[in-house]
Amino acid sequence: MDEKKKATGIGGILIRCQDPAAMRNWYNQHLGFNAGQYGANFEWRHLDNPEKKGTTVWSTFPQNTTYFGPSAQGYMMNVRVADLEWLLGELKKEGIEPEAPMQVYDYGKFAHITDPEGNRIELWEPADESIL
């Protein structure tokens, strides 16, 4: 029996900024990100199925955002997962509880955990790769 993958890749990098719009403009001008209000999406193909597309997001958040949890971390990593409900069950067995119940949106399922140094990590199971 194949072991289920816990993480399938990096879903995104989220950055806390003094001026999110200015940061987006800087990355657009100097690195060609083409970031809008919600950031930039970088499209790629799955290694094991080149017909299947995926995206990794880069996004800015205001300095006072509560989205990163109670920590003062400057960045938050979004980790792509294949089966979030299963993974949350596995993490619970390992003594890791999500910060809040899983949230479900049209574009996927989300949960947040914290690493041993207090960094918040966003777990994301995309709903449909073709819409991202």
pLDDT, tens digit (0-9, with 9 covering 90-100), for 75-102: 999 999 999 999 999 999 999 999 999 9
Across the chain, the runs of DSSP E, i.e. the strands, are 9-17, 40-45, 53-62, 75-80, 103-105, 108-114, 120-126
| Side-chain half-sphere CA neighbours of 6 within 13 A | 6
Answer positive or negative: Cα dihedral of 16, 20, 26, 28.
positive
Q: Could you state, in order of their start, the residue ranges of all structural domains in the chain? A: 9-131
Q: Could you tell me which residues come within 8 angstroms of residue 19 by beta carbon, excluding any fewer than 6 positions away?
A: none
Considering the four listed CATH numbers 1.10.10.10, 3.30.70.260, 3.10.180.10, 3.90.930.12, the one that applies to the domain covering 9-131 is 3.10.180.10
Nearest to 17 by CA among 30, 26, 29, 4: 26
Q: What is the mean pLDDT of the chain?
A: 90
pLDDT at 36: 93
